[in-house]
Structure 1
């Protein structure tokens, strides 16, 4: 298991790009970037949702990335209210310009879910199966 990495991002739209770069750097460093495109889509959607729906102005969101065996996990924790509806997938329609975030996460990730926190906030996570056979072959040479 590799040491998980995490970073706090500000409540600003530019943080979505910074979150993608942070996760991409971790995956590249771990030589686990085979699903980078899928992961980037999910990080973008989760970070955008944290800004739009979860985090309050003045509070940011935390991105955590971990790799264990053949699973890669990305988590985005916001500091918003835990009251009300938990984040959930909605079926997108052609006449609505948004609301596709978790729909895309569900499509690109192998698994995903939501953890509610007492007090405030949610962690929305996405997991990806990664092929580590290339890394094992390289290590045995």
Structure 2
């Protein structure tokens, strides 16, 4: 698993097989709906069941990225954007918010045992095959993560 702190150049573009972009309200409900939509699209596009490991990874990753956008990356009255991409070898989740100056840390520290938060990006790191952040302009940032669909022997 890799984490990439990227500039506007970002990761080399991969032409998606399918793509969907939806805006959600800056709320816990918006984050929950984003997670539900991501899993629904994942299962529809890949044909994998809801309880497959990759679908669970997509659910967890989307929940963490969307809740981070709501909690740390939004301005009052501004929505966050969820983009889902089915790639030739994987599934990419992108969450775009309106706080480009609040980038994820380049190194994720282990949280202190009694803290009740601070584990979200550790989970993204554990479940994503790769993830990172781009700041395409001065008004937004996108945190993305990819889940590979190939088996290790492929």
TM-score (norm 1): 0.85
Q: Does the CA-based 8 Å contact 1:54-1:121 persist in structure 2?
A: no
The Cα of 1:6 is off from its aligned counterpart by 1.0
Does 1:4 find its partner at 2:19?
yes
Counterpart-to-counterpart distance in 2, 1:29 and 1:2: 13
1:53-109 CA distance string (max 9 Å, x none): 1011210100011011111110000012x23x5212232221211111111100110
Q: Does the CA-based 8 Å contact 1:90-1:102 persist in structure 2?
A: no
> Structure 1 stretches of 5 or more lacking a match?
133-141
Q: Secondary structure at the match of 2:134?
A: strand
Number of paired residues? Answer: 130
Partner residue in 2 for 1:20: 35
The aligned runs of 1:128-139 (5 Å cut-off) are: 128-131=147-150
Structure showing greater Rg: 1
> Structure 2 stretches of 5 or more lacking a match?
1-15
- Tell me: higher relative CO, structure 1 or 2? Use CA pairs within 8 A at least 6 residues apart: 2
The aligned runs of 1:89-104 (5 Å cut-off) are: 89-104=108-123
The Cα of 1:32 is off from its aligned counterpart by 4.7
> Given the superposition, is the C-alpha separation of residues 86 and 106 from structure 1 closer, same or farther in structure 2, using an over 3 Å criterion?
same
Does 1:77 find its partner at 2:108?
no
Q: Which runs of 4+ in 1 moved over 2 A?
A: 31-34
TM-score (norm 2): 0.78
RMSD of aligned Cα (Å)? 1.6
More helix by share: 1
Partner residue in 2 for 1:30: 45
